[in-house]
A and B are shown apart, each in its own frame.
Chain A
Amino acid sequence: MSKKLLLKTFLLQVFILCNFAFAQQLNFNENAFFYPHSFRSGQIISSLGLSTAKLPEDVVETDDVFRAPLFSYKLKYGLPENFLAEGGVETNLITFHFSAGPKWNYEDDKWGFSVGGDIAYWFGQLEQFGFDTKFTGWILYPNLSAGYRFNKFTLSLKSEVVLNLAETSTNGELEISNDLDFYNGWTIGVYLEQPLWKDNYVVIGIRSTFLKFYYPMWAAFSTFDRTFFIPEALFSFNF
């Protein structure tokens, strides 16, 4: 057998192997949302998800049955010079929370970092069950993220400080600007991103929040002047 034929066969094998290998390589830069990677200008990645929270028993007065589901849609839009714009909406149907803000990303081999700040406007309204109530507020979220890219998944950490800018409540004919502390608390979350099937990436996340005022539970009218630990679990699809 000639050496040329062996070589050709060998190269053909390598070519076939590489095709399959590349076909199985995971493209986190096109699919990961929480992992802080660099974006091309104009690149968009979205994440649609559902989170649940265990609300403090002292506030909601049920020990475990109540879980606060929150639907969320978030979007990242790539800008030049490692910047991106992020926006999102969260809702539990009686409350809506809109946020937007810039981020700056830095990626180094398998590590990614980002720093940013979001401003949010939220409102809640309830006119049943004896309520004639509206709440509105503005919140600021400075945030930091770090992530590591493993071969088949990414793991990211995101932390935010939660700052109250303003809040107003209306009950019946009475409207009052509520006197909340500027520093509300902070959050830290861990997010695991990986493909579930084909090119469909999912996020499994857990977030701990340490807050005096947790906006999704505005209808509980918490008057407690203390910080609560509120854990959240998140499952979302990236696209």
Chain B
Amino acid sequence: MKKTIILFASLLLIYSCDNEVDIISPVIDPSNFLAQTTPLPNSSKLVIEGVYDVLDGKDLLGDQVVVKWNRDRLSIFSGNNGGYLVLDGGYLDSVIFFIGYWRYATNTETGVASFYIPSDEGGVEIILGDTTATTIRFVGDYGVGNGLADRTLVLKFNRDFSQAVKQSEFDILAHRGGGRNSDYLGVSENSIEMINIAERFGSTGIEIDARLSKDGVPFLYHDSDINLRLCQKSLIWGQIEDFTWAQLRTLLTLRNGEKIPSLREALEFVLEETLLSVVWLDTKDVDVVNASIALLTEINDRAITMGRDLKIYLGIPAQDIFDAFAAYPGHQQIPSLVELTIDQVRQVDADIWAPRWTQGTQNSEVQQMHAEGRLAFCWTLDETSYIEEFINEGEFDGILTNYPTIVSYYHYIQQ
């Protein structure tokens, strides 16, 4: 009897294991050094972009990296474990400084990183916006975890992006507004805070999920019920559409502490605070279709008025939503994206066909879509080897992914 109890008690110990992940948030620029620098002008930013050789730090980043500016940060993408850096920068005298962090996309390894570009190794030319500059060297170091930056990192400019890449209108679409909760990015999926950082991962567009509250307010939320994957523990549980907007907004907190955004808040943020050019508005329920159409039409019109390069597409993932859309008066004028068959794309005159990636590159179907003046995206592709194949062998116009950093690497490094 005693032996049995001891054995079962040991079992309980084993069963007390869980899948909690320890998240490290490295402390970046504790002395606020960048406040002393001057932000780089836009003309300078393009000079820095290109493909760089990794002279020191191959363990971290592999042999080559892609350096790319986005809205407010410099991002560096590597092919090593989906590794990437996000850096803030500025110049002081003729030296350019960058401070930020590195991270692997497929796990939670991270650390601080910082660089400087010496004045005689590209600093002066970049500040002046001299596009002929080819001798650019990033000299820096990085740390691991909460440790100090004590490992050397040196990058040397190799080449510009190829003409094919520069002329390409390929879209890198970030899933759930920028990433999932399970990617542990420090912000929640389908939140304003996530949309705000999506471009740092190389995204040119995002996919967001829309649902409707009991009293008819559309909002961002992926699952059909209140659960601990998306929310902190609260007093309300059950199907999300059983609650009014006030109840959801007041009583629920997203997993990383944010409030649930309304669809209007999210789309207005994209329009006014980002440079994202595509929004894939995934309608999770038939009930939200009409409200989504009204809002996306309004925001698309405002984008045109502002001269803003932005288009919001109504995403149609299932047959019932397709039927509801097809019944909507004037649906042919609504920008839309259909995940079903190419015949159904034609039926509603959708702009984009978006099949699941697991059916392969489907080049002949994609070519048919192109011949009809439509685009083709695929979803949700995360496997590194397949990302490389789809970019090199496929003809899709965009990839929806949880790892836009990996897609960015393979896209920009093409010859």
Say whether A associates with B. Answer: yes
Asked whether A131 lies within 8 Å of B14 as measured between CB atoms, the reply is no
**Any B CB within 8 A of the CB of A221:** yes
Q: In the assembly, what is the distance between CA of A225 and CA of B104, in Å?
A: 9
Chain B residues, Cβ within 8 Å of A132: 358-360
Chain B residues, Cβ within 8 Å of A226: 21, 107-108
Asked whether A173 lies within 8 Å of B17 as measured between CB atoms, the reply is no
Contact with A along B210-253 (1 / 0, CB 8 A): 00000000000001000111000000000000000000000000
**Any B CB within 8 A of the CB of A140:** no
Asked whether B360 lies within 8 Å of A56 as measured between CB atoms, the reply is no
Complex interface: stretch among A57-65, A68-76, A116-124: A57-65
Chain A residues, Cβ within 8 Å of B180: 61
How many residues of B are in contact with the other chain, CB < 8 A? 39
Q: In the assembly, what is the distance between CA of A223 and CA of B387, in Å?
A: 12
How many residues of A are in contact with the other chain, CB < 8 A? 36
Q: In the assembly, what is the distance between CA of A57 and CA of B230, in Å?
A: 11
The closest CB in chain B to the CB of A153 belongs to B4
Q: Which B86-103 residues sit within 8 Å CB-CB of chain A?
A: none
**Any B CB within 8 A of the CB of A176:** yes
The closest CB in chain B to the CB of A55 belongs to B19
Chain B residues, Cβ within 8 Å of A20: none
- Given A155-B7, A188-B14, are A171 and B358 also a contact pair (CB < 8 Å)? yes
**Any A CB within 8 A of the CB of B131:** no
- Given A130-B358, A172-B362, A224-B107, are A206 and B11 also a contact pair (CB < 8 Å)? yes
Contact with B along A77-88 (1 / 0, CB 8 A): 000000000000
**Any A CB within 8 A of the CB of B389:** yes
- Given A224-B107, A225-B81, A229-B17, are A171 and B386 also a contact pair (CB < 8 Å)? yes
Residue of A63, A174, A231 touching B389 (CB-CB under 8 A): A174
Chain A residues, Cβ within 8 Å of B228: 63
Q: In the assembly, what is the distance between CA of A233 and CA of B181, in Å?
A: 28
Chain B residues, Cβ within 8 Å of A206: 11, 15
Asked whether A173 lies within 8 Å of B361 as measured between CB atoms, the reply is yes
The closest CB in chain A to the CB of B362 belongs to A172
Q: In the assembly, what is the distance between CA of A228 and CA of B362, in Å?
A: 34
Asked whether A57 lies within 8 Å of B361 as measured between CB atoms, the reply is no
Chain A residues, Cβ within 8 Å of B358: 130-133, 171-172
Chain A residues, Cβ within 8 Å of B104: 225
Asked whether A174 lies within 8 Å of B361 as measured between CB atoms, the reply is yes
Interface residues of B (CB under 8 A from A): 3-4, 7-8, 11, 14-15, 17-19, 21, 81, 104, 106-108, 180, 182, 223, 227-229, 355-362, 382-386, 389, 393, 402-403
